[in-house]
Each structure stands twice: as structure tokens, then as C-alpha cells.
Amino acid sequence: MITDVQLAIFANMLGVSLFLLVVLYHYVAVNNPKPGRLPAPGTVPST
């Protein structure tokens, strides 16, 4: 049978991994340029 300590460790590891997945998703979503996207008005396009 699983003990309380094992359950707590599993729950904490699951929570940390989900948190890191959310952080990774936001990092990729922000830094991934969309194809065909025009630069904002008033900005200098980078080459």
C-alpha cells in the first residue's frame, strides 16, 4: 500500500512538473514568431 509520505512526494512532483510545463509553454508561445506576421506600426523590422 502507498504511504502518506509517498503520496505527498508524488503529488508534489506532479505539481512541480505541471508548473514547469506551463512555464515552458508560455516561453515557447512568446518566443515563437508567427509566419506572415507583420511588425507593429512604428517599429523597425529586424533582419
pTM equals 0.63
What is the rounded CA–CA span in Å between residue 6 and residue 8? Answer: 5
What is the rounded CA–CA span in Å between residue 31 and residue 8? Answer: 35
- The pLDDT > 70 percentage for the chain reads 85
What is the rounded CA–CA span in Å between residue 21 and residue 36? Answer: 27
What is the rounded CA–CA span in Å between residue 29 and residue 11? Answer: 27
Question: What is the average per-residue pLDDT within 22-30?
Answer: 95
Tabulate helix, strand, coil % of the chain (nearest 5): 60, 0, 40
**Reported confidence tier of residue 46, pLDDT bands at 50, 70, 90:** low
Q: Which residue has the cell 512538473?
A: 17
Q: Would you list the domain boundaries of the chain? A: 1-32
